[in-house]
């Protein structure tokens, strides 16, 4: 029985991951994301070279450590772009994951088979994540290589942490909740509207930082995901200099609460499917 469920789960995951890339939403988002990051890195690199030239003209020579710190800070300019795309574009794009199958009669075929609600929801969610994360991994690699050429040397560990503890969790939570919240909608249009409403909520949360634990509850709190525990994290240096306000919450708390919200959304979607079947 377990082997059958795992086979069903794997099949749904593969199907959904392929569908995400056969449609235009996720590929277009990845192309736009990569293009914007390259433009940001090009602008930051030009600004850095101009500042270095001015420093050299004034008789100040930048050491390799300073150059590395400058490059690392330059790579952080990608964060606002990633934040806005993850909370604005991702939920509406993936929200029709389940209603699309219902509208195209695919879900009727699936539910005619011995596939449980948990297996179906889990496969759709994991498949959506697989398709999205495949594209983000490519953008991460491209941006990292381009940043080395356009900006200069930077701390690779900090860059990986920016993605693994910031961009990827935010993408996972925003897409997961977007998929689950819209799972009960009868049409793709209404599902997209639900995803857009969730994006609007996330944007609204950006303007309501309170300095309390509520900040960690919202998926749209950039301050939560910026508190990377890296030894050479430039944000810590800037915080000590008084240039920014260092966020009070740590990554484990934010990721744990985000995972809890996805789990609650999954339980709600499963309960709705069970109730709908019983009617």
The count of structural domains within the chain is: 1
Comparison of pLDDT for 257 and 196, the residue scoring more: 196
pLDDT the model gives residue 30: 94
Does the pLDDT of residue 270 top 50, yes or no? yes
The most confident of 37-46, 131-140, 234-243, 244-253, by mean pLDDT = 131-140
Ranking 46-50, 143-147, 268-272 by mean pLDDT, the lowest is: 46-50
The answer to whether the beta carbons of residues 174 and 202 sit under 8 Å apart is yes
Comparison of pLDDT for 153 and 256, the residue scoring more:
153
149 vs 45, 139, 154, CA distance in Å?
9, 15, 10
- Please tell me the distance from the alpha carbon of residue 123 to that of residue 130, in angstroms, as a whole number: 10
The domain of 20 spans 2-278
Distance CA(195)–CA(178), nearest Å, equals 5
Position 260 scores a pLDDT of: 81
Phi and psi, residue 88, nearest 5°: -95, -45
The mean pLDDT of the chain is: 77
The separation between CA 41 and the C-alpha centre of its own chain, rounded to angstroms, equals 20
Give the pLDDT confidence score for residue 244 in this predicted structure.
37
Residues 56-82: pLDDT tens digits? 666 665 566 666 777 777 787 777 788
- The token pair at 262 is 């996805």
- Round to whole Å and give the CA distance between 27 and 73: 28
Q: What is the mean pLDDT of residues 72-94?
A: 84
The separation between CA 153 and the C-alpha centre of its own chain, rounded to angstroms, equals 25
**Most confident of the following: 22-31, 197-206, 233-242:** 22-31
b/e per residue 229-261 (b: at least 16 CB within 10 A): ebeebbbbeeeeeeeeeebebebebbbebbeeb
Distance between CA atoms of residues 86 and 26, nearest Å: 12
Count of Cβ atoms closer than 10 Å to residue 84 Cβ: 17
């Amino acid at each position: 029985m377990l082997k059958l469920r795992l086979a069903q789960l794997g099949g749904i995951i593969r199907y959904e991951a392929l569908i995400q890339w056969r449609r235009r939403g996720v590929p277009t988002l990845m192309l736009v994301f990569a293009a914007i990051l390259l433009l940001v890195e090009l602008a930051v690199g030009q600004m850095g070279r101009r500042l270095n030239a001015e420093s050299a003209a004034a008789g100040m020579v930048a050491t390799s450590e300073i150059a590395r710190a400058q490059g690392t800070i330059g790579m952080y300019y990608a964060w606002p772009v990633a934040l806005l795309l993850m909370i604005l574009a991702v939920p509406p794009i993936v929200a029709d994951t389940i209603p699309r199958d219902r509208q195209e009669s695919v879900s009727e075929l699936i539910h005619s088979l011995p596939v449980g609600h948990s297996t179906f929801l889990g496969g759709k969610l994991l498949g959506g994540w697989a398709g999205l994360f495949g594209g983000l991994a490519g953008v991460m690699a491209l941006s990292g290589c381009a940043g080395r050429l356009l900006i200069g040397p930077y701390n690779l560990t900090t860059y990986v942490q920016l993605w693994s503890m910031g961009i990827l969790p935010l993408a996972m939570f925003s897409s997961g909740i977007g998929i689950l919240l819209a799972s009960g909608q009868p049409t793709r249009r209404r599902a997209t509207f639900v995803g857009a409403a969730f994006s609007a909520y996330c944007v609204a949360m950006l303007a309501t930082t309170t300095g309390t634990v509520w900040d960690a509850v919202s998926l749209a709190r950039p301050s939560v995901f910026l508190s990377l525990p890296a030894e050479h994290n430039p944000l810590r240096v800037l915080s000590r200099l008084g240039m920014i306000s260092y966020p009070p919450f740590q990554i484990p708390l934010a990721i744990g609460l985000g995972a809890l919200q996805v789990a609650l959304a999954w339980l709600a979607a499963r309960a709705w499917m069970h109730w709908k079947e019983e009617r």
